[in-house]
Amino acid sequence: MSDAMLLLEGLACVRGGRMLFAGLDLALAAGGSAQIAGPNGVGKSSLLRIVAGLLRPYAGTVRCEGAVALTDELDALDRERTVRQALTFWARIDEAPAERIDAALADLRIAHLADIPVRMLSTGQRKRAALARTLVTAAPVWLLDEPANGLDVESAAALGALVDRHRAAGGIVLAASHLPLAWAQDLTIELRAPRDAGEAP
């Protein structure tokens, strides 16, 4: 993972005919982490989707060395399958070894939920199952959208420890959150609503 790198240059995003942000630059080397902060609707998720290649930027470029894994608020895990089956399905799509699933479930402290249908999970448990998919992919670049949402204090601390481990191994973490995160950031980019842009501080 030590070759991981993420470079955003002059990124701009337009959605619904509205410019959400422009001229956004970010450089993260192996082991780096950054938080995208700002109020609801300002464009944090949109930025992560651009980095993941799911949304086209209005302007600017994304350069990324290493595979990318996005954990967002959309429920990617099939609600009718068990946690293990749902993760196995994605492991096949993500071309990741299913043997990693048990370790990922243990890391996120949900090994006891492996055979429970996804639809029976609580909000925080579902979030941890979605994060398990990211661990299974072993992608160097983690994009975490509102990772603290739904997590209790212990789970947030466990995620913080996993992020630290990932960074120590040369991974990169870019997290979008309006809340403080359970790990230290190299830098925080504060997106501002257009009506605030240009106002005197």
Ligand X SMILES: Nc1ncnc2c1ncn2[C@@H]1O[C@H](COP(=O)(O)OP(=O)(O)OP(=O)(O)O)[C@@H](O)[C@H]1O
- Residue from 10, 23, 41, 194 that binds ligand X (CB under 6 A)? 41
Of 33, 46, 71, 155, which one interacts with ligand X (CB under 6 A)? Answer: 46
Burial class of residue 21 (count of CB atoms within 10 Å of its CB; 0-12, 13-18, 19+): buried
Q: What is the dihedral of CA 21, 151, 65, 136, to 10 degrees?
A: -150
> SS3 of 114, please?
coil
Site for ligand X (CB under 6 A): which residue of 4, 11, 28, 42? Answer: 42
- Binding range to ligand X, per CB under 6 A, among 12-20, 25-33, 100-108, 163-171: 12-20
Q: Binding ligand X by CB under 6 A: which of 4, 24, 28, 43?
A: 43
Buried b (16+ CB within 10 A) or exposed e, 152-180: eeebbebbbebbeebbeebbbbbbbbbee
- Residue 147 binds ligand X, judged by CB under 6 A: no
String marking each residue 21-40 x if it binds ligand X according to CB under 6 A = -----------------x-x
Total interface residues for ligand X by CB under 6 A = 13
Using CA atoms, how far apart are residues 113 and 108, in angstroms rounded to an integer?
Answer: 11
Shortest distance, position 151 Cβ to ligand X, whole Å:
16
DSSP string, 34-96: EEEE-STTSSHHHHHHHHTTSS--SEEEEEEES-EEEE-SS--S-TTSBHHHHHHHHHHHTT-
Q: How far is the CB of 188 from ligand X (least distance, A)?
A: 14
| 178 is a contact residue toward ligand X (CB under 6 A) | yes
CB of 92 to ligand X, least distance (A): 28
Amino acid at 149: N
In single-letter form, the type of residue at position 31 comes to G
Q: H-helix or E-strand containing 153?
A: helix 153-168
Of 1, 35, 44, 162, the one binding ligand X by CB under 6 A:
44
> Of these, 6, 8, 20, 118, which contacts ligand X (CB under 6 A)?
20
Nearer to ligand X, 38 or 171 (CB): 38
Binding site for ligand X (CB under 6 A): 15-16, 20, 38, 40-46, 176, 178
